Amino acid sequence: MQSKVSMDLLVCQSENGFSLDELVKKLSEAYENKAFSEFLRTILMLTQEVLIYRILNEKKNAMECCPEGHLTLNGSFKRNIRTSLGEFSMPFIRVRCSKCGKTFAPLQRFIGLERYQTKTNELEKLIVEAASETSYRRAVKEIERDGKLPVAV
C-alpha cells in the first residue's frame, strides 16, 4: 500500500471535529487504496471508545468484572491483528478491577479475541468453506458424469 490512510486519526483524535468533505475524501482514499484493514481498524477504535466510555461513566450496559468492583484504566498494549482484509496494529486499552485486581482489555473481550491470539479465525473458516465448496462442486460433477440426475448448483 502506497499511502497509509489513517482514518482513525481523523475520526477518533479530532477534537475540533471534521467536515463531511474531509470524511468523504478519506473514505474514498481508503477505498481506492483498498485499505479495508484501515476501515476495520477504525471500526474497532470506535467500538473501543464506546466500551471505555460506558465503563468510565458506569453505564448500566457497561462491561463488568466483579459485582461490587469498579473498573479503572490500567494502561494499554499494542497488538498486530491479521485478517483476510490485511494486517494492522491496534492499541488495546486495559482496565483493572478494584475488587479482584484482574486486568483485561474490554475490546479484546468484546470481539472474542483470546489473550495471545493475533489472527482471526475467519481466514481459516473461509478456507474450509472454499475447500468444502470445491469438494461439493467436484461431487456434483462426478454425480453428473456418472449419469445421475443433474444437481442444481
Shortest reach from residue 64's CB to Zn ion, in Å: 8
Q: Are 6 and 38 in contact (CB under 8 A)?
A: yes
The one segment of 8-16, 58-66, 107-115, 132-140 that binds Zn ion by CB under 5 A: 58-66
Site residues for Zn ion, 63-102, by CB under 5 A, read: 65-66, 69, 97, 99-100, 102
- Position 119 contacts Zn ion (CB under 5 A): no
Size, binding site for Zn ion by CB under 5 A = 7
* Residue 53 beta carbon to Zn ion: minimum distance, rounded to whole angstroms: 20
Residue closer to Zn ion, measured from CB, 69 or 86: 69
The order of strands in the sheet holding 71-83 is: 71-83, 86-97, 103-104
d(CA 114, CA 125): 17
Please, what's the largest Cα pairwise distance for the chain? 70
The Cα–Cα gap between 102 and 92 comes to 16
Which residues are at the interface with Zn ion (CB under 5 A)? 65-66, 69, 97, 99-100, 102
